[in-house]
Amino acid sequence: MTHEKDACTRGCADSFDYDVVLIGAGMGGLYQLYRLKEAGYRVLALEAAEGVGGVWHWNRYPGARLDSEAYSYGYTFSNALQEEWNWSEHFAGQPELLRYFNYVADRFDLRRHIRFGNLVTAAHYLEDEQGWAVTTDKGKRYTCRYVIAAVGPLTLPSLPPFPGRDSFAGETCHTSRWPDREISFAGKSVAVIGTGATGVQVIQEVAKTAERLIVFQRTPNYCAPLNNAPIAADEQPTLKARYPEIAAACRSSNGWFMYDTDPRSIFDLADEEREVFLEKLYNDPGIGIWKANFHDIGTDEAANTVVSDFIRRKIRERVRDPDVAERLVPKTFGFGTRRVPLETRYYEVYNQANVQLVDLTETPIDRITPTSIVTTGDEFEVDMIIYATGFDAVTGSFNRIDIRGVGGVKLKDRWESGPSTFLGVHAAGFPNFFMPGGPLASLGNFTPAMEYSVDWVMDLLGYMRDHGFAYVDVAAAAEQAWTDLVRDRQSGLLIGRVKSWITGFNSNSEGTEEFRVLLNTGSAKDYRQSCDTVRRNGYPEFEFSKVESPQSALSPCLIPRH
C-alpha cells in the first residue's frame, strides 16, 4: 500500500495529506470540489470512473435523457458558465450532459484535483488525530481532516438473481454500466427487462432498429409525454434572461423543479375544468403532470384516483391492441406513488409488429439459458439481454464502502434496519464526515437539491473555520429526531405505501416485505426550512471542538486565500 501526500504550497503544518477527501466527481461532487477549491481547502477527489459526470458517465444507454428542463438542471453557481453554455434541447440527452460536465471540469480547472479510476473501498475515522484515512481499490491511502461522500443515490446497479443469468452467451448490458461504444440492434432479437424510467427510455430507442424487441414487464408505470423540443439559437437570449427566475423557482418549490405543486384540491374544480387542467399538464413539456399537479393527489386516495384514471385512459387510447393496453395500465397503485417515467412515443412502440410485451405477473422469469429467457409460460430466444433493473438505491453506494466511525462502528451496521441521519448529511458517531444529498435528504430535481446540500456543508465548514473548530459531530438525539420526522412525513404520503426503489425495493429485495425510508419524500420547502433553522440558530444540534494536539493543528490551508 502506498501513501501519498500532496505538497502544500503554502507551508502548512498539518499532518494530514489533505484537508478534505471528496468521494465522487459526479454532478454533486464537481460542485463540491469547486466550492472547496474556491475556499482554499486542500482537496483530493477520488472517482471510480475514468471520467467526470457520475450517472451521466455510467448511464450511456441509448435514449438516456433528462426529465427536468436542462436549464433547471444545469449549475447556477456561475453566471459566466450559464452565459457560455447553450443547451440544444429543453431536455438534454446523455451525450450533451456528459459534454457539459466535462466542460465544467475544464472551465474551473477541477480535473487536476481528481484521481480517476479509484474506487474508494474504506474510510476509517482516526480518533487520535480527529481525521480520516481513506483507501482505494488501487491500494492508495490518504489521510484528511474531513471526508465528503458525494456518492449519489443511484450509483450501484441492481441485477436480478435469475437462475442461469451468467450462462447467457449473447451480449448482456445493464443500463447503468453501458459500454462506451456503439451497439447496433439491427437484425437482432433484443430483450429488455424492466420498465422504470430507464427501461422506458431504452425501449423507445431499441424498438426503432431491433428486428425483434421483447419487453419483460413486472410492473407497468404511469408514463406521461416528455414533449421535448430543440432550443433554437434565437430562443437562447430570452431563455437565459429567465435563468435567475428559474433558479429561484427551483429553490423555493416542493420538489426542486421550476414549477410547484398546485395548492388547490383537485375537488375545487368542476369536472370539465379539471379535465382541461390535466390535459394541459399532459401536453406541456416535462414532469409537471406529477410535480405541478394538485397537492392532494399525493395524500388522498380519491384525489389520486382522478389523475390515475386520466392517465389510464390515455394509455388505452394510445395502444391499439386492448389486451396489450390492459397489461400496460397500472392497477395496483396510484399515479405518482412511484417515479413517473417521461416518454416519447413509448406506448406507440407496442403498436409495432416487431415488439412483444411479456407480462411477468402472469408468467414470471424462471431462468436464463445460454440462448434464451425462459418464463413459466414460454421460451424466448434472444441475441441480447438489456437489464433496466435499477439500482441498489441510496444506501447501496455507501454500503459498498467500509465506513467506520468512532469505536470502529460500521455505518453499514448502523443502517442495517434503514438509514438514519441528520438532515441527510450527518451521522452521529461519524465526526467530520458529510454526505451531501445523502440518505434522508431531500432530492427531486437533482442539481438544485445538490447545490443546496453542498452549500449547507460549505456553510458548516465556514462556521467551523471562523470559530477555530476542527471537529464536528451531530448529537445522536438530533439524528434520531430527524429520522423519526422523515419517517412520519413519509407515512402520511401515498408514496410511502407503494413498493419502488424509493421505499427500498429493488431487484435484489425480492421476497422482502419491509418498507424503508431512504429519502425525505416530504416537501423540499420543509426540508430547507429545517436546515435554515439549524444554521440560523448556530448549529445547536452539533458538538464542535478545537484541535486537541499541536500535531493535528488546524491547517493554515484552511484559512481562505481571499
Interface ranges with ligand NAP (CB under 6 A): 65-67, 154, 160, 193-199, 201, 218-219, 339, 360, 365, 388-391, 501, 506-507, 510
CB of 529 to ligand NAP, least distance (A): 24
Question: How many helices (H) and strands (E) are present in the chain, helices listed first?
Answer: 18, 21
* SS (HEC) of 61-103: CCCCECCCCHHHHCCCCCHHHHHHCCCCECCCEHHHHHHHHHH
> Cα-Cα-Cα-Cα dihedral of 403, 406, 409, 410, to 10°?
-10
Q: Which is nearer to ligand NAP, 94 or 118 (CB)?
A: 94
What nine digits make up the cell of 400?
A: 459498498
Based on CB atoms, which residue is closest to ligand NAP, 355 or 388?
388
Number of residue whose CB is nearest ligand NAP = 196
- By C-beta, is 165 or 465 nearer to ligand NAP? 165
Complex with ligand NAP: residue 405 or 444, whichever CB lies closer: 444
CB of 561 to ligand NAP, least distance (A): 37
Q: Which is nearer to ligand NAP, 163 or 187 (CB)?
A: 163
Considering the complex, what minimum distance in angstroms separates the CB of residue 138 from ligand NAP? 29
Please, how many CA atoms are within 13 Å of residue 453, restricted to the half-sphere of its CB?
A: 33
User: How many whole angstroms separate alpha carbon 299 and alpha carbon 344?
Assistant: 28
Q: How far is the CB of 136 from ligand NAP (least distance, A)?
A: 26
Residue 111, exposed/middle/buried by CB under 10 A (0-12, 13-18, 19+)? middle
Nearer to ligand NAP, 131 or 438 (CB): 438
In the complex, what is the shortest distance from the CB of residue 510 to ligand NAP, in angstroms, rounded to a whole number?
A: 6
Could you tell me how far CA 124 lies from the centroid of its own chain?
A: 25
- For ligand NAP, the closer CB: 193 or 494: 193
Task: Could you list the beta-strand ranges (E) of 83-228.
Answer: 114-115, 120-126, 131-136, 140-149, 171-174, 189-193, 212-217, 224-225
Residue closer to ligand NAP by CB (options 27, 149) is 27
What is the identity of the amino acid at 178? W
Q: Scanning the structure block, which residue is given the C-alpha cell 460549505?
A: 458
| Sign of the dihedral through C-alpha 490, 494, 496, 501 | negative
| Beta carbons within 10 angstroms of residue 408's beta carbon | 9
- Least separation in angstroms between residue 108's CB and ligand NAP is 24
Q: How far is the CB of 500 from ligand NAP (least distance, A)?
A: 6
Give the shortest CB-127-to-ligand NAP separation in angstroms.
38
CA distance 178 to 145: 36
Residue 325, H or E segment = helix 322-328
